[in-house]
Structure 1
Amino acid sequence: MSGLIGLIITIIVLHGAVGQGPICTITLPPNFLSAKGLATPFKTSGCTQTVTNQQVFAEATIVNPITGAIYIFNPVIADKNMNARIPILPTINPGDVVGLWFGSNAMGIKLKPSKAGELSFLTCVQGDGKTNFGQMAFCNAAAFFVAAKIAIKTGQLSIPPLGTSPKSGKPCYTVRSFEVVDQDQSDNVVTEYILANLAGGGTEIAQFSKANMQYYQAQQKAGKVTSFTTIMNGSDNRLVSVGLDNALGCKPFEARDQADVGAVRPSLALNELFASQHEGQYGTVALVPQSDPMVVDGNGNADLKKLNLYRAGVDQPLQPKLNPQSDVDYCSNMLTIGAASIKADKPFYIEAPTIDPAVGTNLWTFMGARFQASFVNLDCLALLDKTQEPVVAVTNADGVATVQDNQLIQHDHLDAPLTQLLA
């Protein structure tokens, strides 16, 4: 049980609102939405890219509303005194609209401009001005989605079909599927970086690309680099477009990565456009709830302004007023759709790699542990007037859900006997 408590505490820390934990300040270069700005390493303070639960990531998606051209570019974020391999200069054409999103593995994010007033001018949103969201922030997001929808409406930008899983036979999931969401849905980015330990001491960070991987392989062979690895931002967007899609044989909406010749990748913005386009095809739609820890006020109460600021940054409909019943409905859908899918999709998840090895040893145990923590943190037991958790992940001494000894169990119904998921 101590491992379970540790797991829940860990996920609360990973997703909690700012003001309750450490802050990572990201200093942005001048004109950071320009080609030169995006190719200039962003700098951090109060955190380090060398520690997993302090790592932060940036992800830009760029669209032209007239031509429909769309592509991604992931700016590098480096520690203040860390070497950064100079990024490729992206191409930004006249009329292109750049949206920029930030994600963190645990730290609360605070954006800091190089020029006074630039964050407001470029419509950067990191909270409601009183409290920040936490591990999310974004710039020019609303303008990006307006531009993308113009291109979609005129037929210049085509969204790929939702598709059906060849394994489960069900429609593929989106970032707004209750089979995917947790307590703070639609957060974080799909960005990866390369982190290299230099032979002379110190660390270097670079954009993830085939060319950079080959570069560090050569540097290691030459004795200039002792080791290198990839780091990534886990959670909803990577989970659905990499973890679940791969496990289920589905395909996300992808665009050309300007930093990696010939590569196409998903992004937060592409995931939200994909989900919006296919509403009605994948069941009940999940939208950021008012009980999401990222959108509550400093006292943990629902905050309509903060909720709608967040929703605007991920292209979701604004909520007209606070509605306590919406929290009940969200929990009910997590139970009837989300918990049921963990059991139904076990054959496809159990052999798939985990998104976070600190939470579960494979994708199935990760999903179970993540669901359990979210159900507790959203106070779903009380809201649904139930006494037993629908999913219980019994963890090892390190708080990691494992498949040993049938350690992930699920109730058939909240007040019924347990069913061993691994049986």
Structure 2
Amino acid sequence: MLTKPRSAPRASNTSMYAPNKRRRLSPLMIIGISVPLLLAMIGVGVVVVLPYINSHAAAAVPNPNCTLIVPANALSAQGLATPYQLVAPDAAANGPCNEANPNQGAFVQGTIFDPATNTFSIYSPLVIDKGTQPAVVPTAPKLPANAVVGLWFGFNGTNLTLQGAQGNTLRNARCVNGLNQSVFGQFAYCAAGRFFQVVNQAIAAGKVTIPALGMAKDGMPCMTSRDFGLVDMDQSDNVQTQYLANANGQTAQVTTANQAQLANAITLGNPSDNALLTKFVDPALGCTPWMAPDLANPGSMALSMALDEIQANALQGAPMALVPLGDPMTLNNANPSMQKTTMYRRGVDQTPATAANASTKTYCMNLLNIGAPRIQKDMTMTINATSPAPAVANSLFTFLVSRFNMAFGNGGLNCTGLLNVANPAAVTLDGNGVAITGTITLAGATTGTGTGTGTTTTQAATGSANITLDPNAGNAALSLKVSYPNHNNAPVVVSIVDSATAKTLFSQQINTDNNGQAALDSAINGLQGLTAIPNTWVYNVADPNMNNTVVGTGNVVSNGTTGAATLAAAPAAPAAGTTPVAGTTPAAGTTPVAGTTPVAAPTTVTSPAPPASAGQVTPANAPYNKVSKKKHHMW
């Protein structure tokens, strides 16, 4: 869809694009606390929540809204080599836009698909200030015949608006900047829809080889850009592109030749969720990202947002994190928009948004039940890993905890309000405002209507089981139904357990549909010699995304060779000395029923002392360390 260039935002009390509002702000700014009190609190190492606030931009603050001029024939080899031009449409009132300013830089990433060889390559076009020349003129790439090119954009400010060099430039390149005058903010794309369509057709035909995710050091699959252990309030935004900048602010592509020619140049980067995954989380967990040849730098490989999304679309297990309606980049005048969310998803290879698959509440539940436990589980590996932003957090672990806190809080997706639970993530700041410890507090499987007081309940799954025994054949026909609200397209494990012998008679993982429903017709084998169904059988449903916590259980009521069970939520633990209901969590000192998983009591894990590398700038994070902390997060 063609989006028109947007004029300078007008001040408005209702528009999310009002110039006096900054959507992505610092995790280190505290609401309602005076500066002396804040300093005193930080000085004693108090644990604080990291809220989102709006602030009036001071005159010294760089202009947060910039325009990027897209060259003609942007999808051609010559168009890729033609520098994009950054400019401020409201420079007289709010100041200029400069690519070398780490708070204003725009970045472009191109991914090319060769339909003849079914392979990929990368080329990142250069961005310069309008009216200037590049430090080194880019060389046009040699594209394969019938190449399919997609372009993706990232921005370090607040709102980036695309403008065509000619009247038909954006239309010809199929550029999407948002919905009408409501831009996405830090993200845009050109020809992404066609790119993914062609690639997905080749994948369906078995022509494209997608690298396996591999197993992480924590014993779980390596993460993708759609893993709830990685995503935040606005997933799949920005790109991994970097540029060089000389002392005059002129820029060049990052190539071996340019680095030799511009020996004293600094590296500019675009903090992104994909860079967080591929440059920090993957190395910490022993995982390897998918890369492709860099056409601008022969002999080298490059990362790509498009490759990340293709791999995630193919290999991410359920539940898959998809852009929710509450994502701030898809809001239209501060209101959820199904159309704008679908437009954003189209640019990152995701299915169109529907009420069933774009629920922010469901997204929040998955952050709580899957994301927070994964961050906690990986602490021993991430606590000693390089922080993406040493000025914000002293390790990868404390950075991830800070980021989760903001996404989950009422300044992010407002998961605390939607689920009526406490934020499970908190950090302790030092005197410089750097997060030095992180705390994840888990309370088992929390319902969407939980109290948030630390008590533990389980999300209720309902349903039924009908069993018909055939004594002559030594098996039983089994018909199961499950309804698991707010867990659409998610895995569940259904099982039949004999509580008298602690033997699992049947167990199988199935997936719910778009409405959280699942059904299964199967058989229980190995029942030779059994003439009637015993009343000791139990029908259980467990959630593998919550460490196989039992979320529904029902006793099988026998009527000779037939039996039936009705699921109910797994009740809380009984008091000491009482007899637990089959399939539920027993109290301390009692014996759990075979085949069930006790619901975890609230647990708190706090990071140990900071690593020796705390706060250090490394080659991995140097391009991002100077980015303004006026965003709600840096990735």
Q: Which is strand-richer, 1 or 2? A: 2
Tell me the alpha carbon deviations over residues 362-421 of structure 1, each in whole angstroms, 9 at most, x when there is no partner: 2111111111111111010010112x21101233455432x2xxx322223353378351
Cα distance, 1:131 vs. partner?
0.4
Is 1:263 equivalent to 2:300 in the alignment? yes
Once the two structures are TM-superposed, the CA of residue 116 in structure 1 deviates from its matched residue by 0.2
Residue 322 of structure 2 contacts residue 350 of structure 2 at CA under 8 Å; is this kept in 1? yes
* Residue 208 in structure 1 maps to residue 258 in structure 2: no
Between 231-240 and 81-90, report the one with greater CA deviation. Answer: 81-90
User: What SS does the corresponding residue of 1:203 show, helix, strand or coil?
Assistant: coil
Matched, 1:246 2:283: yes
- Which residue of 63, 70, 89 maps to 2:113? 63
Relative contact order (alpha carbons < 8 A, sep ≥ 6): 1 or 2 greater? 1
More helix as a share of residues: 1
- Taking a change above 3 Å as real, the CA distance of residues 51 and 358 of structure 1, as seen in their structure-2 partners, is farther
User: Structure 1 residue 106 and structure 2 residue 157: aligned?
Assistant: yes
Alignment correspondent of 1:285: 320
Pick from 373, 398, 404 the counterpart of residue 371 of structure 1.
404
CA contact (8 A) 1:359 1:370 kept: no
Distance 2:53 2:133 in 1: 31
The answer to whether residue 74 in structure 2 is matched with residue 36 in structure 1 is no
Q: Is the 8 A contact 2:157 2:186 kept in 1?
A: yes
Are the structure 2 counterparts of residues 306 and 4 from structure 1 closer, same or farther at C-alpha, using a change threshold of 3 Å? Answer: same
Is 1:134 paired with 2:185?
Answer: yes
How far the C-alpha of 1:31 sits from its partner, in A, is 1.0
Contact 2:65 2:157 in 1 (8 A): no
- Displacement of 1:41 in angstroms is 1.0
2:234 is aligned to 184
Q: For residue 118 of structure 1, what is the amino acid of its counterpart?
A: T
Check if 1:295 corresponds to 2:334: no
Distance 2:213 2:379 in 1: 22
Q: Which residue of 2 aligns with 1:222?
A: none
Question: Deviation of residue 11 (structure 1)?
Answer: 9.1
What's the RMSD between the two structures over aligned residues? Answer: 2.3
Deviation track 1:257-309 (CA, whole Å, cap 9, x = no partner) reads 111121112211000000011133xx4210000100000111x2110110000
- Structure 2: segments with no counterpart, 5+ residues: 1-25, 32-48, 56-62, 89-96, 444-451, 455-601, 609-635
Secondary structure, aligned partner of 1:53: coil
CA distance in 2, matches of 1:129, 1:172: 38
Q: Normalised by the size of structure 1, how large is the TM-score?
A: 0.87
State the partner residue of 1:54.
104
Quote how far apart the aligned CAs of 1:318 are.
0.6
1:350 aligns with 2:383: yes
Q: Is the 8 A contact 2:234 2:329 kept in 1?
A: yes
Give, as a single letter, the amino acid of the residue that structure 2 aligns with 1:25: T
Structure 1 residues 289 and 390, CA gap change in structure 2 (3 angstroms)? same
The answer (yes or no) to whether the contact 2:114–2:148 under 8 Å persists in 1 is: yes
Cα distance, 1:92–1:249 mapped onto 2, change above 3 Å: same
* Structure 1 pair 245–325 and aligned structure 2 pair: CA distance change class (3 A): closer
Is residue 87 of structure 2 the alignment partner of residue 45 of structure 1? yes
Q: Note the 1:65-214 alignment, pairs <5 A.
A: 65-84=115-134, 85-165=136-216, 167-197=217-247, 202-214=248-260
Matched, 1:412 2:447: no
How far, CA to CA, are the matches of 2:54 and 2:107 in structure 1? 20
**Offset of residue 99 of structure 1:** 0.2
Q: 1:91 to 1:333 in 2, by over 3 A?
A: same
Paired amino acid for 1:105: N
State the distance in 1 between where 2:420 and 2:353 align: 25
Aligned residues: 393
1:312, distance to aligned residue in structure 2 (A): 0.5
- Kindly provide the CA deviation profile for residues 47-105 of structure 1, in whole angstroms up to 9, marking residues without a partner as x: 22222221111000010223213101001111124441111211122211110000012
Structure possessing the higher radius of gyration over alpha carbons: 2
In the TM superposition, what whole-angstrom CA distance separates every residue of 1:92-150 from its partner, at most 9, and x where no partner exists? 22211110000012331100101102212221001010300000000000011112123
Contact 1:237 1:271 in 2 (8 A): yes
Alignment correspondent of 1:5: 30
Change (3 A) 1:235 1:2: closer
- The aligned counterpart of 1:338 is 371
**TM-score computed with the length of structure 2 as normaliser:** 0.59
Ranges of 4+ aligned residues in structure 1 off by more than 6 Å: 9-13
SS of the residue corresponding to residue 75 of structure 1 reads coil
- Give, in angstroms, the shift of residue 323 of structure 1: 5.4
